[in-house]
Structure 1
Amino acid sequence: MSSNQWEIGPIFRALMRNKVGAILIAIQIAVTMTIVVNSIFIILERATKIERESGIDEINSFYLTTTGFGSNFDPKSTATNDLELIRSTAGVLDAIQINAIPVSGGGWSMSFQTEPGEEKETEGAAIYMVDEHGINALDLEVIAGENFAAGDVRWRPAGVRDWPDNVIITKVLAESLFPDIGYQDVVGKTIYIQQNEPMIVKGIVDKIQAPWVGWDDLEHTVLTPEITEFESNRYYIRAQPGQRDAIMPIIEEALASSNKQRIIRGMRTVQETRERSYRADTAMIKILSTTMIILTIVTGLGIVGLASFSVNRRKKQIGTRRALGASQQAIVRYFMLENFLISTVGVLLGAVLTVGLNMLLVNIFSLNALDWYFVPAGMLVLWLVGQIAVFGPAKKAANIPPALATRTV
C-alpha cells in the first residue's frame, strides 16, 4: 500500500464517518476567518485614521476658554491684555485667540467657490480665525505666499456676517479649488465665500486639519485674519518644548488674577483633545482585537478537541498501522493532512463569506472595499492555526505503541 493510499483514502473515509465534527470545525474556521479578516482590515483603517498628523504642534500645546460677565466687561480690551500677558509668560512660545481647535469636534465651516453666483461648484472648509501669530502658534509651514501682516487683522464683533479680504488656505484645499494649476499659482487668486464675497488667497500652508476627524475633507481649511470680540474667547497656547505642563497652571492663575469679571474653564491639552476625538475608534480597535483573539483561541481549541477525539477513537487502528511498519512521522502526517483538508474547506468557505461581509459593510456603513491580499493572507493564517492546533494530538497519536493493536477491549 502506497503512502498516498494510506493517507488520502483512510482520511476521507474517516471524515465521512464523522461528518458532523468535521463540518462543524470547517464552519468554525470559516466564521473565524470572516470575522478576523474583516476585523483586521477595519483595525488597520482605524489605526491609520488615528495616526493622521493634524499639522499642528500637539505635544506642546494647550488651550482654555474665558467667559466674561458683568456690565463693565470689555471683550476687546480683555483679549488684547490677555494675549500680551500670555505671550510674555516665561515658557510660552506663542499664543493666539482662535475660534476653534483642530481635531476637537466642534468649529466653524463655510463653502468656497472660484466663481461668484449661485449654483457654482463649491468646496466646504473649516475656518480658523487667527492673527499674525497664528502660523507660529500653530506651528504651520507657509509653502507659498506669505503670512498675515498685523494690518490684515481685524476685530470681529458678534453678529458680523462679512469676511476679511485676505485668507490663507491649505494645499489640499487649493488643489481642490484649482485642480488645473499648481498650488503655488493659487496665491493671489480670488475665491468667494457666501457665493459672491471675494477673498484673496494670500498664502498656502502645508497642512492643518479641521475639527471634525470623521470628515472626508479633513484638510480643507481656511485661516482668516480676525480676533473675535465676543464675551467668550478661546486661547491657544504653544509652549516651549517640554514646558507645557509646567506653564498650564501659571497661565490659568495669571488670567484669573488679571480680570475678576470672567471665569476660566475648559483648560485642556491638544493631545487630550485628540484622544477624546478618536475615543470611539480606539474603543473599536480594542473590541475587535479582543473578539479576534477569543475567536482564534476557540477555533484552535475546537481543532484540538476534534483531533483528540479522533485519536482516542482510533487508537487500535493507529496501533495496527504502527505494527505494520508505519513510522511516527507518518502518523503525524496523517493527522496534519486530515486537518489541512478540513481547514481547506473552511478557508474556502471563509473566503466567500469574508468578501460577502465586506460588501455588506461597504454598502451599509460606507467602509472601503477589502484589499485583495487580505483574503489569501487570512487563509494562510487559518491554515497555520489549524496545523499548530493539531500538532499536539498528532504527536500523541504517533506515540501510541504497536502492541495496542493486539489488545482486546
Structure 2
Amino acid sequence: MLPDSNDVTYVLRTAPQERERVLKQMADVLNQLDGNRILRQPQTFSQLRADFFQRNRTMVGLLLAAAAGLLFVTALGIAGLASFWVQQRRRSIGIRRAIGATRSDILRYFQAENFLIVSGGIVPGTVLACALNLALMEHYEQPRLPLLYLPIGAVALWLLGQLAVLGPALRAAAVSPVVATRST
C-alpha cells in the first residue's frame, strides 16, 4: 500500500506581470475542481524563498549585533585601561616632557604600547581561531575558515585599539611638564 500523501504542491510558471492574477485564478480553479480541498495561502517562489531564509537572516543579524557589541566593549576596555595608564604615569609623562619629549613623542609612545598589547592578544587569538576551525572541520564537517578573515580581523582589531587609545593618548600628550612634576 502506498502512503497516503495529501500534501500536494503546485508550481505554475508565468510571466512576472501575470503572477498575482494567475495565483488568484489557480485558487479558484482548484476550489471548483474539489470543494473539500484546503488551500494554504498561495505564494510566489520569491515569497516562499524569503519565508524559508527568514530565520537565517535573523540569526545573521543577531550574530552581527553580538559581534558589534563585543567590539564596542573591547574598545571601552582598551580606552579605560589607557586612561588608567595615563593617570598612573602622569608624573613620568611630565618628566619626559620636561626633558624634551614633544607631544607627538608621547602620543606615539602610547599608540606603540597599545599596538604591542593588542598584538599580544591577536597572535594567540589567531592561533586559537585556526585550532577551533580545525576541530570544527574534524568533528562537525564545517568548511575551512577562509584565510582572508584572519588578517582582516587582525587589522580591524589593531585599528579599533588605536582608535580606542587615541583619546587617552591625546590627554597624555597634553600634560604640562610643570603641572605633572608638581603633583604627587
Normalising by structure 1, what TM-score? Answer: 0.41
Q: Given the alignment, which residue of 147, 153, 161 partners 1:386?
A: 161
Q: Given the alignment, which residue of 25, 42, 45 partners 1:250?
A: 25
Match of 2:62 in 1: 287
Question: Offset of 1:363 from its aligned partner?
Answer: 2.3
**Cα shift readout 1:291-318 (whole Å, capped 9, x = no counterpart):** 2111111111110000011111111221
Normalising by structure 2, what TM-score? Answer: 0.86
Match of 2:39 in 1: 265
- Is structure 2 residue 143 aligned with structure 1 residue 368? yes
Cα pair distance change 1:355/1:231, threshold 3 Å: closer
Q: Given the alignment, which residue of 91, 98, 104 partners 1:323?
A: 98
The AA in structure 1 aligned to 2:26 is I
Q: Given the alignment, which residue of 64, 80, 86 partners 1:311?
A: 86
Aligned length: 181
1:145-184 to structure 2, matched below 5 A, reads 159=2
**Cα shift readout 1:336-393 (whole Å, capped 9, x = no counterpart):** 0110110111111111111111112212321111233322222222111111111111
Cα pair distance change 1:255/1:243, threshold 3 Å: same
The AA in structure 2 aligned to 1:263 is R
> 1 CA distance for matches of 2:181 and 2:9?
88
The AA in structure 1 aligned to 2:174 is N
- Is structure 2 residue 178 aligned with structure 1 residue 403? yes
Structure 2, unaligned stretches of length 5 or more?
Answer: none
> 2 CA distance for matches of 1:404 and 1:302?
28
Question: Relative contact order, CA 8 A, sep 6+: which one is greater?
Answer: 2
Question: Offset of 1:260 from its aligned partner?
Answer: 4.7
Q: Where in structure 1 do 4 or more consecutive aligned residues deviate above 4 Å?
A: 230-233
Cα pair distance change 1:236/1:408, threshold 3 Å: closer
Report the RMSD for the aligned CA atoms in angstroms: 2.2
Cα pair distance change 1:405/1:242, threshold 3 Å: same
Instruction: Provide the secondary structure at the position in 2 that maps to 1:268.
Output: coil
The AA in structure 1 aligned to 2:151 is P
Q: Percent identity?
A: 36
2:114/2:161 contact within 8 Å kept: yes
2:94/2:178 contact within 8 Å kept: yes
Instruction: Provide the secondary structure at the position in 1 that maps to 2:143.
Output: coil
> 1 CA distance for matches of 2:56 and 2:9?
27
Match of 1:141 in 2: none
Specify which structure has the higher proportion of helix: 2
